[in-house]
Amino acid sequence: MILFFTPTSFRGGAAASPLVPSSTPDWTLTWSDEFSSADGSAPDPTKWTYDLGGKGWGNQELETYTSRPQNVKIQNDNLVITAQQEKFTGKDGIARDYTSARLKTQDLFTQAYGRFEARIKIPKGQGIWPAFWMLGNDITKDGWPKCGEIDIMENVGHEPRVNHGSLHGPSSAAPTADLTAITSLPAGQSLADDYHLYAVEWEPDTQWPAGGQWVFDHPFFIILNVAVGGNWPGNPDATTQFPQQMLVDYVRVNSKQ
């Protein structure tokens, strides 16, 4: 079974929510990054690598992903991913109007099943698309969607109070098999106003839509990114302010005892 939890604010150092924290006896910490290195430093290269470049990433996105400190660094015990509006020419020789960063644990850390959680303050604005998600480690062999995709946190700027948690896999009845759970803050509140805890608990043997193939019984790697524009969020407009930053306090992975 996979359970998606409503994002929940942290105030005064405590979780004001029914979420079970990862420190309970039911869970054993298997991997984490607390992002506690020196201000201005790069993310730990033993834990994170990067997707780089433009090309739209299958969604008609507008950004070029880089590993520059202008787009990704450690600051005040947070991982800071910064989306900027700037002319930038990547290694493909194409100049694009936005830059950002996309980090991943591919080839460095993978796990099947458990609790994956992150405390994040997301960016905001039309056309801004932050995400905390996972892909199957067989993507280079089998491709997408056969590798499977688990989206723990996705937000599009025109829905400021809504988190989307989704599963995507192959299907014989449609291009993909998809399940999505949408959770929302009360009217008038925005996810970008505070840090929230985003978590998924992943177990085997869950049912899947008719025609869908269950592809969630192998290790996955973690991805953190901020996209700009694309088919789903739409593109930035005159109301969008740059730069926009996603602040990640920590990422922790646990196994069930």
Please write the tens of the pLDDT for every residue from 61-88.
Answer: 999 999 999 999 999 999 999 999 999 9
Residue 30 dihedral angles phi and psi, to the nearest 5°: -110, -25
Task: Give the bridge partners for 134, in sequence order.
Answer: 150, 222
Please write the tens of the pLDDT for every residue from 198-239.
Answer: 999 998 877 788 889 999 999 999 999 999 999 999 999 999
CATH, domain range 2-13+27-256? 2.60.120.200
pTM, two decimals, is 0.92
Q: pLDDT over 70 for what percent of the chain?
A: 90
At 22, the pLDDT band (50, 70, 90 cuts) reads low
Q: pLDDT over 90 for what percent of the chain?
A: 82
pLDDT of 24: 63
Residue 110 has pLDDT above 80, yes or no: yes
User: Which residues are tagged catalytic?
Assistant: 149, 154
pLDDT of 234: 98
Which tokens in the block code for residue 173? 């009845």
- The alpha carbons of the chain give a radius of gyration, in whole angstroms, of 18
CA distances from 237 to 30, 85, 125, 126, 163 (A): 42, 12, 9, 7, 22
Q: Where are the domains of the chain?
A: 2-13+27-256
CA distances from 88 to 30, 215, 234 (A): 38, 37, 21
pLDDT of 23: 53
Residue 3 has pLDDT above 60, yes or no: no
